[in-house]
C-alpha cells in the first residue's frame, strides 16, 4: 500500500468514525428533547390543576 492509498484509507476510517460518533449523539439529543417536553407538559398540567382548584374553591364558597 503506497502513501496515497494509506491516506485515502485513513480518511475513510476517520469519516466512518465521525458518522459513528454522530449517530451515538442522537439518542442523547432525543432524550434531552423528550425531557424538555415532559417538563413543559408537567407545567401545563400543574397550571390546569391550579385553575381547576380555583374554580372549585369559588363554587364551594
- Cell numbers describing residue 61: 364558597
Residue 12 vs residues 6, 17, 21, 22: alpha-carbon distances, Å: 10, 9, 14, 15
* Average pLDDT of the chain, as a whole number: 91
Question: What percent of the chain is predicted at pLDDT more than 70?
Answer: 95
Whole-model pTM over 0.75 = no
Mean pLDDT of 3-32: 90
At residue 12, the pLDDT reads 96
Amino acid at each position: 500500500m503506497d502513501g496515497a492509498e494509506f491516506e485515502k484509507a485513513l480518511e475513510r476510517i476517520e469519516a466512518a468514525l465521525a458518522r459513528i460518533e454522530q449517530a451515538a449523539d442522537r439518542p442523547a439529543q432525543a432524550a434531552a428533547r423528550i425531557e424538555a417536553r415532559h417538563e413543559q407538559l408537567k407545567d401545563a398540567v400543574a397550571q390546569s390543576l391550579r385553575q381547576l382548584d380555583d374554580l372549585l374553591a369559588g363554587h364551594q364558597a
